[in-house]
Amino acid sequence: MVENGETNTPAHVAMIMDGNGRWAEKQGKARKFGHQEGMEAVRRVTIRASERGIKVLTLYAFSTENWKRPPQEVHFLMQLPIRFFDRFVPELQEKNVRVNMIGFEEKVPSSTRKAIQKAMDQTKDNDGMILNFAFNYGSRAEIVRATQSLCERALNGEINISEINEEMIEQHLMTESITPFQDVDLLIRSSGEQRLSNFLLWQNAYSEFYFSDLLWPDFDGDILDEALSCYTNRQRRYGAV
């Protein structure tokens, strides 16, 4: 954990945004309406998080497992980053938010990749909160990739196997791009599910978990505040012993 003054605000908050499809189905609408409304929730939560002094907000937008969904849903999801930035880049600028992405870019359509890259370029000088999208991300695959790079470096004689340590592994994970906030402090998952689902396995080693029964499109700044005060109270209790 990176210390954050006396307020005990978590530096790195990560979120699993579950329940978008269910939200839509509950009102007899197509799943894409849920995804669309979910994007509004992303906006609300991003703004509140930046106002609360959070350093990094990582959102699990698309997992490596999500390719198994019906092709038309995958196609729709791949367009969402484009729509998100079309609408929200000015607001991100105004809030001094920098965009970052972790995940396997290779399989992402180039138009989507370009939109994300453009938003990253446009916001690269912002020194407020980092809005970090986990997009085509999977933690086991991330760890496999890190292992392969380290093995390659050992074979090339750049490092000795016996020198490999936690820090070196961290430097080969995708969260290297959000140094020094790689470790998650608070993990939030919506929609009543209480699982990690291959999200930041290494980085969640010491995080607090907060689960909400609300579906993601119903999320807002006040629920984030609720999770933050829950986190702060837990930290206070640990501090007492």
List active site positions: 18, 66
The 10 Å Cβ neighbour count of residue 116 is: 21
Q: Residue 198 and residue 142: Cα distance in Å, rounded?
A: 10
Q: Which is nearer to ligand V07, 9 or 37 (CB)?
A: 37
CB of 217 to ligand V07, least distance (A): 8
Between β-strands 130-137 and 12-16, what pairing exists: parallel, antiparallel or unpaired? unpaired
Q: Which is nearer to ligand V07, 150 or 210 (CB)?
A: 210
CB of 27 to ligand V07, least distance (A): 16
Measured over the CA atoms of residue 74, residue 75, residue 80 and residue 82, the dihedral's sign is: positive
Q: Are 61 and 17 in contact (CB under 8 A)?
A: yes
Contact footprint for ligand V07 (CB under 6 A): 17, 20, 35, 38-39, 42, 61-62, 77, 80-81, 84, 101, 116, 133, 135, 216
Q: Which residues contact 212 (CB under 8 A, 6 or more apart)?
A: 188, 189, 190, 191, 192, 219, 223, 227
Q: Which is nearer to ligand V07, 84 or 199 (CB)?
A: 84
CB of 6 to ligand V07, least distance (A): 33
